[in-house]
Each structure stands twice: as C-alpha cells, then as structure tokens.
C-alpha cells in the first residue's frame, strides 16, 4: 500500500510512503511503543521508501523519503535525476543530492563519474537533463569526481554530500520583487512574448517566469518565439538560468552586440 503523510491510502499513480504487511513482516518492536507508533499505521509497516502504484498494481520505488529534495515546495526524487544523468552516453555513475539554498531551502546538485576517454561539460549535461525533466529538477550544479563518495557501509550516501564536496549555491530570493516596467526595446519585446503566453496583462522585468506559474512547456514556447522574433539562438537552459525579463534581455543584448561585431546588420 502507498500512504500519505496522514496514513491514508493514496490514489493510483500518486506518490507516497510505501507500507507493507504480511506473515514475513515484523509485528512491532518489543517494549518500544514510541517506535511502533512511528513505524506502523493500522498494522502496516511504513518503510520510509517513496513510491507509487500503477493501475496494474505494480509498485515503482522512487527513493528514500528522507532523500527527497524539497526545492521551494517542489518535491524531487533524486533517483529520477540519477536516471536522466545516466542516460547520457558519457556518464558512468551519477548521484543526485540536495544542496543548501538560502531562499528555496534546498537546490538540486549532482556528482558524476565519466566513462573512460569520454567527456561532457557541466552545461551540456544540464541541457541534456533539461530536455528530459521539468526545469526545477535540473541540477543547478554538476561536479565531476573520480568516484562516488561512499558512506560508512560502503554504499553511496546522499545525505551530507553537499558538505563533503564543498558545494554551495548562490541564492536568488523567491519573493515577489517590486514592479519595474520594461525599459528597453528588447525588454518590451520579451515582455510582449511573456504576456502572450501567461495569464497576465503586464509583467515586471524582475518577475520570475516559473514563480509566476510558467512551466517547461511554456518556457520552450518562449524560447522558440525569441528565436523567431529576434533571430537569437537561445537554449532552454539559458532560459532556466535567466527566468526574468531583465536577465533574458541582458543575454539577448549581449548576443546582438556580438553579432554586430561580426558584421550582422
């Protein structure tokens, strides 16, 4: 069975805590009522694993609940990100973990071991994952290591990995900024594209696209329209890293300046 935080069964396809019972499962802890209260719900042993059941009753394990990354309220299974990283032909091993973030609480990071004689950059890996997962699941940092750090039992240990690898991620506040209207021609163009995709009549140049309700699909449409309108080759990852009008305008204006230097009218 899969249970929610209150110990109630969840619907098919909904994530929750995997619970088990049967003749092969312990009935409880001896003389330890607190442990029993924490571990059992109506005779079901709560395993601490996160999973979901499909319509045919098959169980998919998504990872340990204590390892789930809580990125500003978005719950991310590190195993899902592991799988996306491992799909790259240059990656031999990958482990995803949480890194502290001042405003979001936690951010996604990953350590990767490359295959012998293979190479890939951090940006290329992040773009690769960005084509497969939602924007908030893309690791903000990817570090390359010779081997995956192991815990005391010899198994990969996600907990504390950010500290062991000395990874810190700069914070950008997620609170709503003061409204600033578009100030340049490029900001006006980007704002008009934003408004055409989002349920708003105006947008401030410092408003975050994703905090305003945007998602990866809308981001892909935004990028496509920027390419069509301004003939700028902007990647989806660039958008993920610069999700405000001001930041995008800075990128676009930089690209336009470089093209003028190279002789484009």
Q: What is the pLDDT of residue 170?
A: 63
pTM higher than 0.75: no
Closest Cα partner for 250 from 212, 215, 206?
A: 206
Average pLDDT over residues 196-212: 81
For 89-132, the pLDDT digits (tens) are 999 999 999 998 877 788 899 999 999 999 998 888 988 888 88
Burial of 31 (0-12, 13-18, 19+ CB in 10 A): exposed
Q: What is the pLDDT of residue 200?
A: 75
pLDDT at 156 over 60: yes
For 69, other C-beta atoms within 10 Å of its C-beta total 25
Helix (H, G, I), strand (E, B) or coil at 113: strand
Q: What is the pLDDT of residue 74?
A: 82
pLDDT at 265 over 70: no
Q: What is the pLDDT of residue 264?
A: 59
pLDDT at 210 over 80: no
Average pLDDT over residues 58-72: 86
DSSP H/E element including 41: strand 40-41
Residue 62 CA to residue 216 CA, distance in Å, equals: 22
Q: Which long-range contacts (CB under 8 A, 24 or more apart) does 19-27 make?
A: 19/44, 19/45, 19/46, 19/47, 20/44, 20/45, 20/47, 21/45
What does the block give as tokens for 157?
């240990």
Indicate if the alpha-carbon torsion angle 36, 38, 41, 44 is positive or negative. negative
263: left (phi over 0), alpha (psi -120 to 50) or beta: left
* 172 confidence band (pLDDT: 50, 70, 90): very low
Rg (CA), the chain: 23
| Structural domains of the chain, with CATH | 2-62 (2.30.38.10), 68-164 (3.30.300.30), 185-261 (1.10.1200.10)
Q: Tell me the pairing of strands 105-114 and 141-144.
A: parallel
* 255 confidence band (pLDDT: 50, 70, 90): confident
For 4-42, the pLDDT digits (tens) are 888 899 999 998 999 999 999 998 899 999 999 989 998
Degrees, nearest 5: CA angle 46-48-52 = 85
Question: In which residue are the tokens 């996604």 written?
Answer: 108
């Amino acid at each position: 069975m899969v249970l929610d935080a209150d110990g109630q069964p969840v619907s098919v396809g909904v994530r929750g805590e995997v619970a088990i019972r049967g003749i092969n499962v312990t009935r409880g802890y001896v003389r330890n009522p607190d442990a029993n209260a924490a571990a059992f719900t109506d005779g079901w042993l709560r395993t601490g694993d996160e999973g979901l059941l499909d319509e045919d009753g098959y169980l998919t394990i998504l990872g340990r609940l204590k390892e789930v990354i809580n990125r500003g309220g978005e719950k991310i299974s590190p195993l899902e990100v592991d799988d996306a990283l491992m799909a790259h032909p240059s990656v031999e091993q990958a482990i995803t973990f949480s890194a502290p973030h001042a405003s979001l609480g936690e951010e996604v990071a990953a350590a990767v071991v490359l295959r012998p004689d293979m190479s890939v950059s951090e940006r290329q890996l992040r773009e690769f994952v960005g084509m497969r997962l939602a924007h908030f699941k893309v690791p903000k940092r990817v570090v390359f290591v010779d081997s995956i750090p192991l815990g005391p039992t010899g198994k990969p240990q996600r907990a504390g990995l950010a500290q062991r690898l000395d990874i810190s991620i700069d914070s950008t506040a997620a609170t709503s900024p003061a409204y600033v209207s578009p100030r340049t021609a490029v900001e006006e163009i980007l704002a008009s594209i934003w408004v055409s995709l989002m349920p708003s009549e105006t947008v401030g140049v410092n408003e975050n696209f994703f905090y305003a309700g945007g998602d990866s699909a809308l981001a892909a449409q935004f990028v496509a329209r920027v390419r069509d309108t301004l003939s700028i080759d902007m990647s989806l990852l660039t958008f993920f890293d610069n999700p405000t009008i001001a930041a995008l305008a800075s990128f676009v204006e930089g690209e336009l300046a470089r093209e003028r230097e190279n002789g484009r009218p």
